[in-house]
Amino acid sequence: MRSLPKRDDTFVQGGAQFTVKAGGKRTKAALKAAVKERPEKVTLYSTSHMGPQFNGPASDLGFGITFTVVGPDPYSARDWFASVYRNQRGGLTVK
C-alpha cells in the first residue's frame, strides 16, 4: 500500500490505466481481466484533491480500501463504474 493508512472504511474514486488487447475497448470486463491477469500492471489513480488518496498499482491496494474506477475516462467518458477491493482471502475483486 502506498498512500493510505489501513482503515476499515476507506473509499477512493478515480481512474485506471491498463492495457487492452489489440482492437479492444477499455470496458469494465477488460479492467476485470487486467486485474486478474497482472494486477501490478493496472495503475489506479485518484481524481480528487481532497479526502483519501491512492495512486499506484492495483496489487498495492490494501485491505479495507474500496477503489471506485470511473471508466473509460473519469474526466470525459463516465460510461461505467467498477469497485476494486481486497477480498477476505487477500485476492483482488472487481465488481
- Which pLDDT tens digit goes with each residue over 74-92? 999 999 999 999 998 999 9
Please check whether residue 3 lies inside any domain of the structure: no
DSSP class per residue in 18-72: ----TT----HHHHHHHHHH-GGG-EEEE--SSS---EEEGGGPPTTEEEEEEEE
Question: For the CA atoms of 54, 52, 12, 32, what is the dihedral angle to 10 degrees?
Answer: 20
In this model, does residue 7 exceed pLDDT 80?
no
Please check whether residue 22 lies inside any domain of the structure: yes
Please check whether residue 79 lies inside any domain of the structure: yes
Cα-based angle 65, 44, 67 (whole degrees, multiple of 5): 25
Confidence of residue 1 (pLDDT cuts 50, 70, 90): very low
User: Closest Cα partner for 27 from 71, 68, 59, 67?
Assistant: 71
Q: Count how many domains the chain has.
A: 1
Average pLDDT over all residues of the chain: 91
Would you state the pLDDT for residue 24? 87
Please check whether residue 72 lies inside any domain of the structure: yes
Would you state the pLDDT for residue 49? 87
Mean pLDDT of 37-56: 94
Residue range of the domain that includes 69: 10-94
Please check whether residue 5 lies inside any domain of the structure: no
Please check whether residue 40 lies inside any domain of the structure: yes
Pairwise pLDDT comparison (6 vs 42), residue with the higher score: 42
